[in-house]
Amino acid sequence: MNQNIEEIKFILLIVCLLVPSAATLLGVSKRIFQETALQLNCYQWMDNNAKNLCFVFSFNAQESKKTELSYPKERSVCESERARDREREREMNGGDEVVAASADPSLPLEWRFSQVFGERSAGEEVQEVDIISAIEFDNSGNHLATGDRGGRVVLFERTDTNNSSGTRRELEEADYPLRHPEFRYKTEFQSHDPEFDYLKSLEIEEKINKIRWCQTANGALFLLSTNDKTIKFWKVQDKKIKKICDMNSDPSRTVGNGTVASSSNSNITNSCLVNGGVSEVNNSLCNDFSLPAGGISSLRLPVVTSHESSPVARCRRVYAHAHDYHINSISNNSDGETFISADDLRINLWNLEISNQSFNIVDVKPAKMEDLSEVITSAEFHPTHCNMLAYSSSKGSIRLIDLRQSALCDSHSKLFEEPEQAGPKSFFTEIIASVSDIKFAKEGRYLLSRDYMTLKLWDINMDAGPVATFQVHEYLKPKLCDLYENDSIFDKFECCISGNGLRAATGSYSNLFRVFGVAPGSTETATLEASRNPMRRHVPIPSRPSRALSSITRVVSRGSESPGVDGNTNALDYTTKLLHLAWHPNENSIACAAANSLYMYYA
């Protein structure tokens, strides 16, 4: 009797597994279902398409007989196959986890060349207006924007995203390989033009200082771009180009005053006009009512057809006349509604929908300009807290402010600065201490800053000092006088941090850039060149041993210390410098600008 009950439970279990709704129809409770599954020792795996149901079970009614069933028989499930399927699914979902699954994130990365745009040939002279002055990935990493000194913004879009449509079997047969990010040219537009301020007799150049992506909506891309004085809000959207085809006239066969050459079938062609426009030749045809010899055999109605889409950029708003000094930073708020713009002495808060009004939230201008001791060099919103932002100064300090404290943030919540070093100070001490760029890590706890000599990592929960310091230009200390004479000491190098917060990168001279591991205990350091062979000047660089001050505060100092040359004993070229670079938000991919060329690397 008990054996018959067990067999009935087994049959009900099989029915419920094959037909999901059968459990309800047969009145099998969840408890009985679970108990039976445990008794029968069943395990099942469902694939994503819910087409292959494979399960293996053992039924021990008399503790002496085991039965194994596999359905369908054409395929069995094993751990190695499941791991391969999971990796393929992660790749089809965008590849965010593929890179992490392919290698241990704590191991040093091997950087490879991906692609280059605008590469110049040997001996080719670079035009000033073509030099790239800003680089920025959007939040998804599928679009990249660059700005140049000619006021143009160029957009690139990713092309290596796998098409995940189709059945599971089709995707398995395709067997997509692991590929690095690849981008292609999308469109470009003139963002800013040169202007002249007649009241101040000041010439305003068209150079793009910063680009920031905004939230997408309805398939359209939105971004902010700024020069020294004016910020513009752009919308880029694909527009379908309509063409009128099957015209009755052939513009290529018109003669003289527009009369169609005599032919019995010359009046019927397949010429097309974009967006319904009429060419000048067709205008002459419209004004000439003479008929071709032999008359018109037939007339064909024009047909409107839609062809490939073309991206069109349109300026939605212009935020102007709010800054007396040069704008050095713009940053979007995480609320998606506001952004800040910073110049040398003030930071203004804007609403994206209101272009004629802004609020001054930070003002460091003294009552007398002769009392001015520092200026604002960079400003950045916190990535997750819409009420917090940080800004850096020319004295090497970083201030974290809370917008909830007051309308005008005269005081700061936290002050981050390195303890003053003992010993004599030189004329260049304050110049090289000026912070040129700051970046928040993705999660918002750590803050990266770049001054002329070093790259520093700060923990916003600890304001006693940086948790790590990376030497970038330590070997240039003996040459500060020469750098001051040729103004190279005032170069503003940018920095970037990876999406997982484990690595950071910054530029240097001779088109070199440095990649540092910023994770606790990491000693990763790489020097790469912006060329098709990024590792050709790369050799292991000796690093200073880390010195732990306490179990709470970790201070690390790494980098080259050889005087007068870079870490690879190569003489530096101060005329070729890599100022601008950006890290892909989800993958180990870096885009950097060397003059007018955009280089991309992956690891």
Of residues 422 and 131, more confidently modeled: 131
> What are the structure tokens assigned to 591, written together?
């885009």
Does the residue 294 lie in any domain?
Answer: yes
Tell me which H or E stretch contains 309.
strand 303-319
Q: What are phi and psi of 14, to 5 degrees?
A: -60, -45
Assign 597 a pLDDT band (cuts: 50, 70, 90). very high
Report whether pLDDT(62) > 70.
no
Omega of the bond prior to 72 within 30 degrees of 0, cis?
yes
pLDDT value at position 243? 75
Is the pLDDT reported for residue 571 higher than 80? Answer: no
Decide which of 273 and 140 is more confident. 140
In the three-class reduction of DSSP (H, G, I as helix; E, B as strand; rest coil), residue 45 is classed as strand
How big is the CA angle at 76 (ends 71 and 81), to the nearest 5 degrees? 145
Q: What angle do CA 471, 472, 473 make, to 5 degrees?
A: 105
User: Which range marks the domain in which residue 254 is found?
Assistant: 247-301
Instruction: Look at residue 313 in the predicted model and tell me its pLDDT.
Output: 96
Per-residue confidence (pLDDT) for residue 121, from 0 to 100: 82
pLDDT at 124: 84
* pLDDT tens readout for residues 459-470: 999 999 999 999
pLDDT given for residue 171 in this prediction: 54
Q: Cα-Cα-Cα-Cα dihedral of 74, 76, 77, 80, to 10°?
A: -100
From residue 167, how far is each of 83, 97, 443, 458, 486 by CA, in Å?
19, 22, 36, 48, 63
Name the more confident of 560 and 179: 179
What distance in Å separates the CA atoms of residue 583 and residue 513, rounded to the nearest whole number? 12
Q: Is 428 exposed, middle or buried (0-12, 13-18, 19+ CB in 10 A)?
A: middle
**Is 191 buried (19+), middle (13-18) or exposed (0-12) by CB count in 10 A?**
buried
Residues 6+ apart with CB under 8 A from 39: 6, 9
Q: For the residues 45-74, what does the mean pLDDT come to? A: 38
Question: Which of 33, 56, 59, 52 minimizes the C-alpha distance to 44?
Answer: 56
Cα 333-339-341 angle, rounded to 5 deg: 130
* Over residues 426-432, mean pLDDT: 91
- CA dist 448 to 46, 55, 134, 364, 495, Å? 45, 51, 18, 23, 7
Q: What is the mean pLDDT of residues 337-358?
A: 97
pLDDT over 50 (residue 95): no
457, 476, 553 from 467: Cα distances, Å: 6, 23, 6
Q: Is 129 exposed, middle or buried (0-12, 13-18, 19+ CB in 10 A)?
A: middle
Q: Is pLDDT above 50 for 553?
A: no
Residue where one domain finishes, among candidates 27, 45, 77: 77
pLDDT at 405 over 50: yes
Let me know how long the chain is: 603
pLDDT the model gives residue 426: 85
Q: Does residue 270 sit within a domain? A: yes
pLDDT for 325 equals 95
Tokens of 177: 């390989």
User: What is the pLDDT averaged over residues 114-123?
Assistant: 89
Predicted pLDDT of residue 300: 74
Residue at 148: amino acid letter: D
Q: Identify the three-state secondary structure at position 328.
A: coil
Residue 281 lies in a domain: yes
Mean pLDDT (the chain) is: 77
The answer to whether residue 266 is domain-embedded is yes
Residue 432: both structure tokens together: 């090289």
Q: What is the pLDDT averaged over residues 243-268?
A: 50
pLDDT for the residue 495: 97
Strongest mean pLDDT among 189-198, 236-245, 271-280: 189-198
Residue 156 belongs to a domain? no
Contact predicate 457/416, CB 8 Å: no
> 326 falls in which pLDDT band (50, 70, 90)?
very high
- Point out the least confidently predicted range of 21-35, 284-298, 320-334, 587-601: 21-35
The neighbouring-strand residues paired with 222 are 235
pLDDT exceeds 70 at position 78 = no
pLDDT exceeds 90 at position 52: no
Least confident of 104-113, 173-182, 334-343, 503-512: 173-182
Q: Using the predicted structure, report yes or no on whether residue 129 has a pLDDT greater than 50.
A: yes
Predicted confidence at residue 303, as pLDDT, reads: 79
Q: Which residues pair with 581 in a beta bridge?
A: 592
For residues 313 and 233, what is the distance between their CA atoms, to the nearest angstrom? 10
The least confident of 198-207, 239-248, 290-299 is 290-299
Q: What mean pLDDT is predicted for residues 12-25?
A: 53
How many whole angstroms separate alpha carbon 476 and alpha carbon 482? 10
Token pair 């790239």 is found at 132
65 versus 453: the higher-pLDDT residue is: 453
**Statement: residue 435 has pLDDT above 60:** yes
3-state secondary structure of 565: coil
Nearest to 490 by CA among 575, 406, 431: 431
Q: Which residue has the higher pLDDT, 192 or 5?
A: 192
* Residue 316 predicted with pLDDT over 90: yes
Q: How confident is the model at residue 108 (pLDDT cuts 50, 70, 90)?
A: confident
Task: Give the chain's domain count.
Answer: 3
pLDDT at position 213: 98
pLDDT in tens, 198-239: 888 899 999 999 999 999 999 999 999 999 999 999 999 998
Given 276, 301, 326, which residue is the final one in a domain?
301
What tokens does 115 get?
């692609």
Q: What is the model's pLDDT at position 256?
A: 43
Contact 524, 584 (CB under 8 A): no
Contact 241, 310 (CB under 8 A): yes
Instruction: Report how far Cα 526 is from the mean position of its chain's Cα atoms.
Output: 22
* Mean pLDDT (whole number) for 515-541: 82
CA distance 151 to 226: 9
Question: Of the candidates 32, 75, 25, which has an alpha carbon nearest to the alpha carbon of residue 55?
Answer: 75
Q: Is pLDDT of 382 > 50?
A: yes
Domain boundary among 77, 100, 115: 77
Q: Do the Cβ atoms of 462 and 417 come closer than 8 Å? A: no
Closest C-alpha to 302, from 336, 327, 331, 278: 278
Flag whether pLDDT at 274 surpasses 70: no
- Does residue 136 fall inside a structural domain? no
In a domain, 182, yes or no: no
Instruction: Report long-range pairs for 88-92 (Cβ below 8 Å, ≥24 apart).
Output: 88/171, 88/172, 88/175, 88/176, 89/48, 91/162, 91/176, 91/178, 92/162, 92/164, 92/171, 92/176
Q: What tens digit of pLDDT does each residue of 366-378 get?
A: 999 999 999 999 9
Burial 462-475 (b: 16+ CB within 10 A, else e): eeebbbbbbbbbbb
Task: Decide if 345 is inside a domain.
Answer: no
**CA-CA distances (angstroms) from residue 185 to 141, 161, 282, 420?**
15, 15, 34, 48
- For helices 30-40 and 2-18, give the axis angle rounded to 10 degrees: 110
